[in-house]
């Protein structure tokens, strides 16, 4: 699980892009460059030569802090942090950077149209393991969406798995990425598949990114600068991707339960989130679910 590559995009406001770039540069010990492109991108080159980016995002409701109150601000307060390719050992560095940005006044909340997108490298995946991933997501999707408390205002940007896709890939069992792509794009008419903002990308599990960038994108997460929550989101994405790689097959059958916490906890343990290392992750991921995590039935409790 820990050998997979990671990329994270975190939308925020409350500080300007210039301020966010300065915080990032100071923390990483890097140098700032500015692209003056359509995203007004600041590039922070870290001592290891990896490039962290601070750029604008048109969807963010920009705000600034005036005497403890958030008030409307200009577009320089539209901030998106884009990490370079990370490994598991880099997650602690990302967490500390998130804390530094928060302490500097940054805020990230779904009510401000801020979200978090996590990319997992798809290099090791095959059409069959990607089918597994779609099925794993589909089977636990209701619990996953409740776990992450997805803001209703953001649902159109992170829709559930397309039912036609599930039916097609389980019936035809694509043998090549091209065949899988045909299934993924089949509901989108003549829209060019190479478009960055292709309509199909607005799913919690986005394989448009797989076909165009070589990453699996998870768009499930409300904006937050809680470093522990963000770690739990990253770990979840790594775990479900790794499970898809390990399994020969997976069922898309929806899980129904009268004890959400227990069912989800058992599933997280099967995904490998075992022991003290992932205790806080399990806590964050189960917090919003109903039921008892320790006992299957109330009578047993």
Q: What is the DSSP string of 161-190?
A: PPHHHHHHHHHH--SSHHHHHHHHHTTSTT
Residue 298's pLDDT is 57
Query: 């967490």: which residue's tokens?
Result: 95
Residues in the chain: 301
Residues 6+ apart with CB under 8 A from 270: 243
Give the C-alpha separation, 106 to 103, whole Å.
7
Residue 299's pLDDT is 57
Output the six-digit token pair for 282. 């399990």
Tell me the pLDDT of the chain (301 aa) as tens digits: 999 999 999 999 999 999 999 999 999 999 999 999 999 999 999 999 999 999 999 999 999 999 889 999 999 999 999 999 999 999 999 999 999 999 999 999 999 999 999 999 999 999 999 999 999 999 999 999 999 999 888 889 999 999 999 999 999 999 999 999 999 999 998 888 988 889 999 999 999 999 999 999 999 999 999 999 999 999 999 999 999 999 999 999 999 999 999 999 999 999 999 999 999 999 999 999 999 887 777 555 4
Output the six-digit token pair for 42. 């600041």
Output the six-digit token pair for 269. 């343990």
Residue 110's pLDDT is 94
Residue 64's pLDDT is 97
Q: In what order do the strands lie in the sheet with 205-206?
A: 31-34, 42-45, 51-55, 79-82, 6-12, 115-121, 215-222, 205-206
Convert the pLDDT of each residue in 116-173 to its tens digit: 999 999 999 999 999 999 999 999 999 999 999 998 888 899 999 999 999 999 999 9
Per DSSP, the three-state class of 149 is coil
């Amino acid at each position: 699980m820990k050998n997979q590559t990671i990329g994270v995009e975190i939308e925020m406001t409350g500080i300007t892009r210039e301020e966010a770039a300065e915080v990032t540069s100071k923390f990483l010990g890097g140098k700032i460059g500015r692209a003056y492109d359509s995203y007004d991108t600041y590039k922070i080159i870290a001592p290891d030569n990896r490039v962290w980016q601070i750029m604008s995002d048109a969807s963010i409701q920009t705000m600034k802090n005036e005497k403890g109150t958030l008030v409307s601000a200009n577009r320089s307060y539209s901030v998106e942090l884009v990490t370079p390719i990370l490994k598991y050992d880099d997650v602690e560095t990302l967490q500390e950077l998130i804390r530094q940005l928060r302490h500097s006044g940054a805020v990230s909340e779904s009510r401000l149209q801020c979200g978090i997108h996590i990319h997992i490298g798809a290099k090791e995946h095959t059409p069959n393991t990607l089918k597994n991933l779609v099925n794993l997501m589909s089977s636990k999707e209701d619990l996953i969406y409740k776990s992450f408390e997805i803001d209703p205002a953001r649902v159109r940007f992170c829709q559930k798995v397309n039912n036609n896709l599930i039916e097609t890939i389980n019936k035809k069992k694509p043998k090549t990425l091209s065949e899988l792509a045909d299934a993924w794009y089949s509901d989108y008419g003549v829209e060019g598949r190479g478009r960055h903002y292709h309509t199909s990308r607005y799913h919690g599990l986005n394989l448009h990114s797989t076909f165009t960038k070589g990453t699996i994108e998870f768009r499930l997460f409300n904006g937050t600068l809680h470093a522990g929550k963000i770690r739990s989101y990253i770990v979840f994405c790594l775990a479900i991707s790794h499970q898809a790689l390990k399994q020969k097959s997976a069922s898309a059958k929806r899980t129904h339960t009268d004890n959400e916490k227990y069912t989800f906890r058992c599933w997280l343990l099967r995904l490998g989130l075992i022991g003290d290392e992932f205790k806080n992750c399990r806590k964050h991921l189960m917090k919003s679910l109903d039921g008892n995590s320790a006992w299957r039935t109330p009578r047993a409790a």
